[in-house]
Structure 1
Amino acid sequence: MAKRKAIPIETRLRLFAESSGHCQRPECLDPLFPAELNGVKHIAEIAHVLPHGKAGPRSKEVPSGEFNPDSFDNLILLCPKCHTIIDKNPDAYPRAIILEWKRNHLTNLAIKQGIRLYENRSEARAALISKLSENKAIWKKFAPIDGSEFEFDPESETALLWKQRMKSVILPNNYHTQSILATNVSHMTADEHEVFAEFKEHIRGLTDRHICGVAGQAIRFPKKMEEIFK
């Protein structure tokens, strides 16, 4: 049997970014960075909607023409329990249903988290300010670059706490903030649209480095985010 190719890092990054760190099965939506693991590890599994070959779950739906099973469009991010559920009972979870989960994921997640389209800019800002403030406090205390309270040592307790807080607090807060902004994009000015675009790229870079393990320079947190919806 030929060895499968690894799923491209760009695809994995996009899956994590678009899941906002939560299982994409709407009946679940559990965090993929559970508190009991202290943010050090995630439990996410990349599930194939249609399988490699002719014997896997939903194999009857595999098209006869050219088909890339490892493409973004054929993958979904799930917790281990939900991955097992859909593959153990494929007739109950056909391709159309799973792709619908993926399309509607951010809407479903926003509803679960109480995110909505607010009536005005002030309400939208009030909804996101606590997440921004918490991240800023962690950055000031633990960040290895420009943090004011220590000289960074990658083996130090502070460095380990920074890595843990990044996965357990900062990234989940960023995903949550991104969902609020996406839902309330109609309240943004033209300049704020640009700031939001920079913020999304900032999140992608952090996800790339801290979740997918790809070294590189993420763009810095856009300072104008602190003023958004003011």
Structure 2
Amino acid sequence: MTLRCLPLLCAPQIQGATMADRKYIPQETKLRLFSEAAGHCQHPDCLQPLFPAEMGGDKHIAEMAHVIPHGEKGPRHEERPDGEFEADSFENLLLLCPTCHTKIDKNSPSYNRVTLLMWKSNHLAALAHKQGVHAYEERSQVRNAITAAMAENKAIWKRLAPCEGTDFEYDPESESAKTWSDRMRNVILPNHLRIQRIITANQQHMNEAEHEAFAQYQEHVRGLIERHVCGVSGRAIRYPVQLDGIFA
């Protein structure tokens, strides 16, 4: 019996004596996987969003795939490293859509360990290339590339974000709460991730204060992902207002 699909946002349901040696994958590992995948399949020829718009943006299709399986059987088992090895470690997992997960396991000779780890290592660069993220020659060009997404996020935040005393605060099932959740997953977070990729590709233009503001911004976005995607509340830090002036 093998466990092919591990849901991203909940613990795998392990049943039967043959599964006793498998460990619960920590929530922190799942969060890190999602964060580093930026919400997209890590197969470089796919890169499809793992929260499809046609599913409302609040349901994911992500599957955690093992590079090397548990035990002595399964795809790529012959490439298991010598010595101590943790199959459920972050280093041995990647995030794929169901189709790509099936492909790599059904045709494992074509998808060896080195290939899969290279996908994971180069994922953000591949995603940036697909989305037209560039390294610019001038600070002003970087600023222009991120301004629209920053402005859209700020406009949505001002119009829809909950404030003290609103029905959202007391009724998470209200229409305003549902609208806010939808915009967060389908607009704000994708914008944040794109902004991060553009800034990362152009860090050579940043000064020390901007590096500090960007580090705080990255932590802010991680917290938003944990709260709005993974359901871990109370961990997001405030948006660093210093970022508003980056590359200005």
Interval of TM-score (by shorter of Structure 1 and Structure 2): over 0.9
Amino acid at match of 2:201: T
State the alpha-carbon separation in 2 of the partners of residues 90 and 73 from structure 1.
Answer: 18
Q: Does 1:2 pair with 2:19? A: yes
Q: Does 1:24 pair with 2:32? A: no
Q: 1:78 is matched with which residue: 86, 96, 100?
A: 96
Q: 1:208 is matched with which residue: 226, 235, 240?
A: 226
CA drift of 1:223 comes to 1.0
Q: Does 1:134 pair with 2:155? A: no
Q: Does 1:90 pair with 2:140? A: no
Q: Does 1:179 pair with 2:194? A: no
Measured against aligned partners, the alpha-carbon deviations of 1:6-30 in whole angstroms (never above 9, x if no partner) come to 2111111111111111111110111
Query: Which is worse superposed, 164-173 or 113-122?
Result: 164-173
Q: Does 1:167 pair with 2:185? A: yes
- Residue equivalent to 1:50: 68
- Residue equivalent to 2:56: 38
- Residue equivalent to 2:237: 219
Q: Does 1:67 pair with 2:85? A: yes
Q: Is the 8 A contact 2:226 2:235 kept in 1?
A: no
CA drift of 1:217 comes to 2.8
Amino acid at match of 1:59: H
- Residue equivalent to 2:30: 12
Amino acid at match of 2:154: K
State the alpha-carbon separation in 2 of the partners of residues 146 and 139 from structure 1.
Answer: 14
What percentage of aligned pairs have identical amino acids? 57
Bigger relative contact order (CA 8 A; separation at least 6): 1
Q: 2:126 is matched with which residue: 97, 100, 108?
A: 108
Amino acid at match of 1:211: V
CA drift of 1:151 comes to 4.3
CA drift of 1:211 comes to 1.8
- Residue equivalent to 2:3: none
State the alpha-carbon separation in 2 of the partners of residues 54 and 88 from structure 1.
Answer: 17
State the alpha-carbon separation in 2 of the partners of residues 37 and 227 from structure 1.
Answer: 36
Cα distance, 1:99–1:35 mapped onto 2, change above 3 Å: same
RMSD: 1.4
State the alpha-carbon separation in 2 of the partners of residues 223 and 140 from structure 1.
Answer: 14
Measured against aligned partners, the alpha-carbon deviations of 1:198-225 in whole angstroms (never above 9, x if no partner) come to 0110111111122222222310111111
Cα distance, 1:120–1:146 mapped onto 2, change above 3 Å: farther
3-state SS of 1:52 partner: coil
State the alpha-carbon separation in 2 of the partners of residues 143 and 40 from structure 1.
Answer: 17
| 4+ aligned runs moved over 2 Å, structure 1 | 2-6, 150-153
3-state SS of 1:129 partner: helix
CA drift of 1:2 comes to 3.2
3-state SS of 1:202 partner: helix
3-state SS of 1:104 partner: helix
Q: 1:191 is matched with which residue: 209, 220, 241?
A: 209
State the alpha-carbon separation in 2 of the partners of residues 175 and 85 from structure 1.
Answer: 27
CA drift of 1:105 comes to 0.8
Amino acid at match of 1:183: A
3-state SS of 2:19 partner: coil
Runs of 5+ consecutive residues of structure 2 not aligned to the other structure: 1-17
* TM value normalised by structure 1: 0.95
Q: Is the 8 A contact 2:63 2:101 kept in 1?
A: yes
